[in-house]
Structure 1
Amino acid sequence: MAGPIVNLGISSFGYAFGEDQDVASVAGTYVRDPERVLNWGYRTFHRAPDGVQATDLAAAAAQQALGRIGLSADALDLVVLAVSDVPEYLSWDGAAVLARELKIERAQTLLLTEGCGAGVHGPYYVASTMAMQPEVDTALFVAVNRISEFHRNRMNLINTVLSDAAVAVVLRRDHASNRWLASEQFTDPEHSDLLRIDFGGAVNPVPPEGWSSLTAPGGHARIREQFANDPDSFQRFLENRYERLVEVIDAACTRAGIDRGEIAHLIYLNDSAASISAVAEPLGLPLERTNAGLAPDHGHMGAADQLVSLGLQLERGELAAGEVVALCGISTGRWSATLIQI
C-alpha cells in the first residue's frame, strides 16, 4: 500500500556548528595543492575547537531543538543519533551518552553509524518505531559529523571540505507540517572498503610508525588503487553514483504514492554545484531548487548536510507549504532517499 506507514512530522530544528574557517586561508595547512581544494567552490567550513567532540555538538543541537518548542527531554520516547565520523571511544554507545547529556533517566535509544547517508534514512527508523509502538509519540533525531583530524585529512578524503556540525529534529506523531512521506535505501557492498580507516580497530589497533593524516595518501589514492587494473569498472562506479540516486528517489516516490514530477526541491550532500546538478537534472529541477546555494558556506557536514539545509531553507522561506522535498545521499555503498512534505 502506497503512502506513509505512520503520520509524523518535524516540529523543530536545532543546530550546532564548529567555528567558521575560511577555506582559502587554511587550505594550505591541510594539502600541498590548495588550488585543487579552492576549485571545489567552498568558501567556509566549520571546525570544532579541540575540546569539543561529537557528543557536545549533538547535545547542543538537541537542546536548541527542544528549547524552541518548550519541550522537556523527559517527554522524548525515542532518541536516535547518527554519527558519520570516528566516535570518541570504541565500545561506546553515543546515543546513550546523548540521552545522559540531556538528563534523561530512562530512554529508548538507537545509534546509527552508516556514514553520510544516515542523516537521510534515519527518520525511517523513527517512523518504523512509531508504527510498531503506538505509545511512541515524540522522538529526537540528531545527525552529527565531527572530523577526527588525527584519523582523516578533512581536505584530502574526497572532493569536499569536511566540516563539523550537528542538526537535531523533533519528530512528533500527527504533526501536520514537514511530514515524513517515505524513505528508501539499498546497499551495493562491492566497494564498502573504499573509505575505511585501516587502523584503530581490532585488525590494526595502532597506525604505522610516523603515519600522519597530513601526509598519508588521500581517499582518491585508495580509489585509484582499487580500480587500477579495471578502468571500465571504475567508469561504471562513477556513473552508478548518480543513476542510483535517481533510482532510490524513484523508489521512495513509489512507496509514498507520488510521481517524481511532484518533487519541488532536492537536497543532496553539500557537494560541488556540478555534482548537485547531476542529481537534480534528471528530476527536472534547476540548481536554485537545491542546496547548491548553501553548500559553499558550510562544507560537507557528513550526515548533517541534508537536515541542516532543510531547516535553513525553511527558515529563509524558500520552501512553501505542501511542496515535496527529496533528501538524498550516499554513504560508501549505500544510497538513501527520504521525502518530506512541507
Structure 2
Amino acid sequence: MGLFSALELATSHLLASDEHETALVTSGDNFTSPILDRWRFSPHFVMGDAGSAVVLSRRKGFARLKPINAVTLPEYEAMHRGPEPLYPPGATSPGKLDFGNSKDRWLDGPDRDPAGPLQLIAAQDKLVSRTLDEAAITLDDITRVAYANGSRERVHDRAMVPLGLPMSLSTWEQGRTVGHIGASDQIVALEQFLADGSLQPGDHFLMLGVGPGLNIASAVIEIIETPHWADTS
C-alpha cells in the first residue's frame, strides 16, 4: 500500500505545476526484525526482502500511469492490531507481531463486522470500477492483475473471483517465487512481466493492493512501448 500512496502523492506533485517534471518513488523492506517471523507472521503469506524504484515523468515513457485511487475502511482497523491499544504501537512492545492471532481475536471480539469480508469486497469492487471508468476501459481490456503476493487461495478469493477473472491473468506464479515483498509486490511484478515479454504495447496492467488500516488501492498502467531494457527473446 505504501507505494500506491507514494505514486498518488508524486502524481499530484507533477500535476500541480509545469515546473515539476519528474518524481522518483522508492520502496525497501527487510523483514529480519526479531519481532517478526517472516515464515509465520501471517497465515496468508511469507515475507520477502526487496527494494524497488520507479520514475514518474510528465514526458512520454514506455508506460502511462492512468487513474490511481484509494479508499480507507477504518472499521477494519482493529483487524490487524487486535485488542492492544493504539499507543504505544505494537511494533515497539515486547513479543512478536502476528497478524493471524490479531485477526482471530478481532473475529471473536465485539468489533468484528458481522458481514465478514463482504463490505471489504464491495468497497474493492467499487474502487476498481471507478478506476476502470476513469481509464476508459473495462475488465476485458486488462492483461494482468497484480494483487498483493500471497497464497494461491488468498489471491484467488480476494482478487480474481471478485473481479470475475481467471487465475491465469494474475501475477501469482511470479509472486509465489518471492513472497510478499512489502510495498514492492506490484512494481516488481510489472518489471518482470515487461522483461520477459508477458506485457506488450497496448496492454493494461491492473495493480490492486490492500493493507492494514484498512486501506485498498488500485491503479491502471498502460504499456506504450517495449522498454529498451526488456529482453523478449
TM-score by length of 2: 0.82
Q: Does 1:339 align with 2:220?
A: yes
Letter in 2 for 1:134: D
Seen in structure 2, the aligned counterparts of structure 1 residues 139 and 157 have a Cα distance that, compared at 3 Å, is same
Residue 223 (structure 1) aligns with? 103
Give 1:185-224 correspondences, 5 Å limit.
185-196=70-81, 202=88, 207=93, 211-213=94-96, 218-224=98-104
The CA deviation string for residues 279-324 of structure 1, in whole angstroms up to 9 with x for no partner, is: 1234343222211111111010111100000111100100111111
1:328 — aligned with what? 208
Does the 8 Å contact 1:265/1:285 carry over to 2? no
Q: State the Cα distance separating 1:202 from its structure 2 match.
A: 4.7
Q: Contact 1:119–1:305 (CA<8 Å) still a contact in 2?
A: no
Pair 195,283 (structure 1): closer, same or farther in 2 beyond 3 Å: closer
CA distance in 2, matches of 1:177, 1:203: 41
What is the one-letter code of the residue matched to 1:119?
Answer: L
Are the structure 2 counterparts of residues 274 and 241 from structure 1 closer, same or farther at C-alpha, using a change threshold of 3 Å? Answer: farther
1:178 aligns with 2:63: yes
Q: CA separation of 1:181/1:206 partners in 2, compared to 1, >3 Å: closer, same or farther? A: closer
Indicate if the aligned counterparts of 1:156 and 1:219 stay in contact, CA closer than 8 A.
Answer: no
2:155 matched to 1:271? no
Q: Map residues 252-271 of structure 1 onto 2, 5 A cutoff.
A: 252-271=131-150
Q: Distance in 2 between matches of 1:267 and 1:226?
A: 28
Change (3 A) 1:192 1:282: closer
TM-score for the superposition, normalised by structure 1: 0.58
Pair 1:231–1:130, CA change in 2 (3 A): closer
- State the AA in 1 paired with 2:174: L
1:4 is matched with none
- The 1:125/1:142 distance shift into structure 2, 3 A limit, reads same
For each residue in 1:115-146, what CA deviation from the matched residue of structure 2 results, as whole angstroms up to 9, or x when unmatched? xx122343222111111021111211112222
Q: Which amino acid aligns with 1:267?
A: A
The within-5 A match list for 1:122-161 is 122-158=6-42, 159-161=44-46
User: Residue 262 of structure 1: CA displacement?
Assistant: 2.0
Pick from 54, 63, 67 the counterpart of residue 169 of structure 1: 54
Which residue does the alignment assign to 2:191? 311
1:173 aligned partner, one-letter code: R
Q: Which residue in the other structure is 1:118 paired with?
A: 2
Instruction: Give 1:340's aligned amino acid.
Output: I
- Tell me the secondary structure at the aligned position of residue 303 of structure 1: helix
* Counterpart-to-counterpart distance in 1, 2:106 and 2:91: 23
Equivalent runs, 1:50-61 vs 2, <5 Å: none
Distance 1:302 1:230, change over 3 A: same
Distance 2:90 2:172 in 1: 39
Quote the offset at 1:230 in angstroms. Answer: 5.5
Pair 175,230 (structure 1): closer, same or farther in 2 beyond 3 Å: same
- Does residue 250 (structure 1) correspond to residue 129 (structure 2)? The answer is yes
Amino acid at match of 2:171: N
Determine the C-alpha separation between the residues in 2 that align with 1:191 and 1:327: 22
User: What is the match of residue 229 of structure 2?
Assistant: none
Larger radius of gyration: 1
The 1:172–1:221 alpha-carbon spacing in structure 2 relative to 1, beyond 3 Å, is same
Residues 14, 57 of structure 2: 8 Å contact kept: no
What is the CA-CA distance between 1:206 and the residue it aligns to? Answer: 5.7
Opposite residue 247 of structure 1, the aligned amino acid is: K
Cα RMSD after superposing both structures: 2.7
Q: Secondary structure at the match of 1:171?
A: strand
In structure 2, distance between residues paired with 1:260 and 1:205? 39
Unaligned runs of 5+ in 2: 224-233
Task: Give the partner amino acid of 1:277.
Answer: H
SS of aligned partner of 1:142:
strand
Residues in 2 aligned to 1:154 and 1:262: alpha-carbon distance in whole angstroms: 36
1:299 equivalent in structure 2:
179
Residue aligned with 2:187, SS? helix
The whole-number CA distance in structure 2 between the counterparts of 1:232 and 1:150 is 29
Give how far 1:231 is off: 10
2:11–2:56: 8 Å Cα contact kept in structure 1?
Answer: no
